[in-house]
Amino acid sequence: MSKLAGKVAVVTGASKGIGAAIAKSLAAQGASVVVNYASSKAGADDVVAAITAAGGKAVAVAGDVSKAADAKGIVDAAVETYGRLDILVNNSGVYGFSPIEEITEEHFHKHFNVNVLGLLLVTQAAVKHLGEGGSIVNVSSVVSRITPPGSAVYTATKGAVDGITGVLAKELGPRKIRVNSVNPGMVATEGTHSAGFIGSDLETWAVSTTPLGRIGQPDDIAEVVTFLASDEARWLTGESLIASGGAR
């Protein structure tokens, strides 16, 4: 039996990469999925098409998570389309590395608006609809543990995500809503390819420091998120699961 049969999920930033893999994984386990996107409608439509072709249910919904009205609209779309909400995956995120001398106000606010404020706004909208057994999964990063040079702003946002995860686990626990995070290492996505990470010295370093000897694939992360969203993880809350092949 599908572990998420009858559940409804929202996945932010799901038009490509890790988010797309999460949406497909949740749908494969029976969840009806809202595939959120900020700009890539074509990508989100492709994800929806793949899910429906496999017999699942999904709908693409536009929205900038860093804007309160859009955040509410993403969540409302789930309730209006499927009648309920059980799972929220806060996956939307941006990243860019800059040494301390080159950090600008724009760089700072771009990262914090999406990675931190966006997470808070979508969660704020979602908790009005999540009931007992609800699950929130935040996609953080191993950078909050390994603190690589040049990542002060990005790492700060993911440290914030880890902190928020712990706070909300305690805040929402009495309502029987679980809150956990998944902290990936380097993952081969459209974003890491376009940023030049794949095939670079950075990838070589990442592999050399990963006991399992490779970088991650989107499905590696999606399976962990699906576990946390399911009742199999019913006794887990406030956890940050480092999904990095052993990199620390």
Among 65, 62, 3, CA closest to 30: 3
Q: Which of 37, 82, 95, 154 is catalytic?
A: 154
**Angstrom distance (rounded) from CA 225 to CA 187:** 15
Q: Are 54 and 31 in contact (CB under 8 A)?
A: no
Is residue 82 part of the annotated active site? The answer reads: no
Q: Is 35 helix (H, G, I), strand (E, B) or coil?
A: strand
**Angstrom distance (rounded) from CA 166 to CA 138:** 11
Q: In what order do the strands lie in the sheet with 8-11?
A: 57-62, 32-37, 8-11, 87-90, 135-139, 178-184, 240-243
**Angstrom distance (rounded) from CA 65 to CA 153:** 19
**Angstrom distance (rounded) from CA 103 to CA 149:** 13
Other C-beta atoms within 10 Å of 223: how many? 16
DSSP states of 157-170 = HHHHHHHHHHHHHH
CA angle 21, 177, 19 (to 5 degrees): 15
Q: Which sequence positions are flagged as catalytic?
A: 154
